[in-house]
Amino acid sequence: MAHSVAERCRTCISTLRLIVSMLTTTESLGRISCAQATEQLERLSLWTGNIGALHPPTSSLSVEARLREADDVRHHVSELLDDLSDASAALYEIVSGQRDGETEAQTDDVSVDEGDVEVSEEIELLQEIDACITRLFRVSSLIRQATPSSPFDKALSRNRYRFNDQFDIAHVGEKFPKLAREDNHWLQTRLGRAITQRRHYLSYTQDHRDKLEGDPARERYSEAGVTQSIEWKQKLPTRLLAETTSQPSTYHTKASTLGPGQITRSMLSTEADSDPEDDARSYTTIARSLDGALESAVTVKIPKLEDLQIGSNKDIECPFCFRVKRFKNNKVWRRHVFEDLRSYVCTFSECDAPLFGNINDWFSHEMKHHRVDFKCSVCQDRSFSNGTNSSGRDKYITHIQRRHPQFLEADGLELLLQSSQRPVEHILARACPLCFGWENRVIERAQADGSLSKPHIEEDEVSVLPHVFKRHVAAHLEELALFAIPVGSALGDNVDSNAAIE
């Protein structure tokens, strides 16, 4: 009878544990180390927990359930696990002393003069184990790419958690007093509720990850008198209970199902060094802002990639979305975190745009729909910009009503508005919707550092280029987004400050 994926995984894990136990007392003549074997055990444990591989075939969270309509992929996973099992069993025979490992000579193609290099069977088997696990991660990545879904939207569609948004709304007002004013209360509420939605999302992903895991992720085992702890999982801490409330973590989650033909054999055989996400050309944050205070303002921090990696392997499990990915550098990793949290929010009233995960999508939305000037297509010399009490659009419509009433008939007004609209070239520094006094800091910083973009000053009004304004406001929004991460998160102490960088 064919073994299930869960049975195959448990066999491989058990064998690797035995190997680790053996290597704690003998280093197998120095050919492979206990640390090397432990790294492979931790990687396999990460894969099984992340994909739900320890669930029985009858479970809706099992690999079989995910791949019930993709026989080729399911067979490929089984073959990889069988190869992994064979390599692990052969390695155990050697490290346990049941047989001697073979050694063969390999010619170094690069340095032929140095002669042959001896490669032990133990090293070859360890390399095969590493390759099998790497391919399993590749399959997991392909499955998730082929079944696109938004965990954030899924989380918000579940009416299970009952977080109190008043705590987050109050925090926004305390952090940015400008938003506590009555005329800005709508934005304070919007930004506070966005934080609450992120808490909902983080709770959902944690619950889903726990259910996929099946068996406890932190295994303690004792063999040959040695107790070792495998702690690869970077869990989020206990959720805030004093200020927010939630229902018990009992709701049902379901793994995404892969349809037939969504993953081909050629895709399975292709080796990938990184996820497509690594190739993004734009990063979330900016290297430095005209507001120096923002560079040290963020108190919640994002762990460095090296603190999340298992040994020398570059695969990490994101502690927020719990997907296993590779990232080229910490900039790409931080961009991923801010995208996970959907950190960017439209700052204009009467706009129902959703939360944005990408800084450029967010600001393009604002520049296209809100931060615009109108230049009269008839007069050619009249421009209408947003003011303190009225929008450029309203002022332009008033101008048309008074000077060009002929365009008010039929669709003439809308066509004229569209043809006259253009993105603003400068934005007033005092127009930051979250903070006071940025214009003064802009001038001070520009005077102190000649390499920065000079502000535009006209009639005592300080303006900056749109991309500078984007960086400044984005830093505020990112800081608020990170507030959703529970305090005391066990993400490590050596982490990066997340002041705005791009």
* CA distances in angstroms from 314 to 42, 113, 240, 254, 324, listed in the order given: 13, 33, 32, 28, 10
**pLDDT (tens digit per residue) in 438-447:** 988 888 776 6
HSE (side-chain half, CA atoms, 13 Å) at 411? 3
Give the range among 14-18, 110-114, 141-145 with minimum mean pLDDT: 110-114
pLDDT at 80: 92
d(Cα 461, Cα 452) in Å, to the nearest integer? Answer: 19
pLDDT value at residue 471: 94
What is the spatial distance between Cα 189 and Cα 221, in angstroms, rounded to a whole number?
A: 49
CA distance 235 to 244: 19
Answer yes or no: is pLDDT of 109 > 60.
Answer: no
Q: What is the pLDDT of residue 62?
A: 83
The dihedrals phi and psi of 495, each to the nearest 5 degrees, come to -130, 165
Task: Classify burial at 244, counting beta carbons within 10 Å of its beta carbon; exposed 0-12, middle 13-18, buried 19 or more.
Answer: buried
H or E segment at 167? helix 165-175
pLDDT of residue 162: 66
Model confidence at 12: pLDDT above 90: yes
Q: Which residue has better confidence, 133 or 28?
A: 133
Helix extents (H) in 52-113: 63-66, 71-95
Measured distance between the N- and C-terminal CA atoms of the chain, rounded to whole angstroms: 55
Residue 278 — φ and ψ, nearest 5°? Answer: -65, -25
pLDDT of 132? 93
The tokens for 19 are 């190997």
pLDDT at 40 over 60: yes
Which residue would you say has higher pLDDT here, 60 or 502? 60
Asked whether residue 394 carries a pLDDT value surpassing 60, the answer given is yes
| 488 dihedral zone (left: phi>0; alpha: psi -120 to 50; beta) | left
DSSP notation for 328-357: SSHHHHHHHHHHHTT-B---STT-----BS
- CA separation for the pair 181, 189 (Å, rounded): 12
pLDDT of residue 194: 94
Q: Which residues, at least 6 apart from 278, have a Cβ–Cβ distance to it below 8 Å?
A: 326, 327, 328, 332
Tens digit of each residue's pLDDT (9 = 90 or more) over 448-462: 665 445 566 655 578
Task: Select from 299, 286, 331 the least CA-distant residue to 465.
Answer: 286
What pTM did the predictor assign?
0.67
If you count them, how many residues does the chain have?
A: 502
Please report, for the chain, the start and end positions of each structural domain, with discontinuous segments joined by +.
5-103+118-146, 372-423
pLDDT tens for 269-312 read 545 444 444 433 333 333 334 444 444 344 346 888 888 887 77
What pLDDT was estimated at residue 448? 66
